[in-house]
Structure 1
Amino acid sequence: MNSKNIENQGDHPLNNFKIPSHISLKSKKFMAKLLKDNDFDPHHFEILCRVGEAMDRADQAREVVSAEGLTVTDRYGTPKAHPAVNIERDARYAVLRGLRELGLDVAQEAARMPRTRDYGGRA
């Protein structure tokens, strides 16, 4: 873990962790709210940093797709999905997985039941 990301300056969660400077203002605000509302351990903070980075990556890809369009033409003249579409999708999945890993996707009392061997089978 990168020791530059952690500062021990008191008991308040925002004082215990330093959000990396390369993360966008939008993601920093989101992360700061989560840090304020939750009690994170250092390893959880590292996951939250990856969530912020993935949010930024999704936003960057969205800007490219907005500017250049959903499709590009390959060397044979066939339209194909713009590579940034896949980058955006993967980054969005990373955000959702990170939030799920932190336990922020569902209320604790309403957690999903684990899959069983007969999952999806008909009765």
Structure 2
Amino acid sequence: MKSCLIVDDSSVVRKVARRILEDMDYVVDEAEDGQEAIDKCQQEMPDAILLDWNMPIMSGLEFIKLLRTYEGGDKPKVVYCTVENDIGAIALALKAGASDYMMKPFDQAILESKFQLPDAA
């Protein structure tokens, strides 16, 4: 099964995203901040990551930069999620290694479109 780590300091966002991703047959884990997410990725690298931009302890941008330095850290699809409509911030995230981005608030159709991964053979 595909795995996804939801990294967001909002429990509501994590809960909504979890329901949608589990309906898509993802095994879902959650982290409240970038540091907790890094710790989880070091234990087991997920197939995909839904990543908030603004978080305590470690921002989304710091997380992406660090993740991509780890062995296997180049593998997960990272979808950066933000309320910021700042093309510069989005460009920074993509340059740092984000695979895609989406704006908050999101709905089921938007999230599903970002997390359609090919099934493992």
Give me the TM-score of the superposition, normalised by structure 1. Answer: 0.29
Higher strand share: 2
Q: Which has the larger radius of gyration?
A: 1
Higher helix share: 1
Give me the TM-score of the superposition, normalised by structure 2. Answer: 0.30
